[in-house]
Amino acid sequence: MVEVTSSPLRLQNILEQVNALANQRRFSEAIALCKTQQELIGPAAELYFMEGIVHQSCGTLTLAEECFHKTLYLDASHEEALLALSLVADHRGESHLAEQFRRSARRVHERKETQ
């Protein structure tokens, strides 16, 4: 059983707790933990991304998409968020938009490899 706390935690610990809750299919608790910790520690790209993944797992793609965009607002080079958005766009049948997200993810990946 995962113990959910209301006090601020280190980001890595929060992500581990969210992941554990999601793996137990306790999606609403995982999302609530993301939201609570965002309020306590402030905006964090990885936490928005994790919340988006959980929403995606639940099939709430609109909420997932919002989280992925917030991730990119905080970290424009978040390759995984770009790829997640390409999947959402593909799901909606927006293949042109999905390809744009994939190209952006490729550019981010290439930049990271040259650094």
CATH 1.25.40.10 for the 11-114 domain, yes or no:
yes
List per-residue pLDDT tens for the chain, 115 residues long: 444 444 456 899 999 999 999 999 999 999 999 999 999 988 999 999 999 999 999 999 999 999 999 999 999 999 999 999 999 999 999 999 999 999 999 999 999 888 8
Summarised one tens digit per residue, pLDDT across range 74-92 is 999 999 999 999 999 999 9
Q: What is the DSSP letter of 9?
A: -
pTM for this entry = 0.87
The domain limits of the chain are: 11-114
Q: What share of the chain is helix, strand, coil (3-state, %, to 5)?
A: 75, 0, 25
Distance CA 113, CA 115 (A): 6
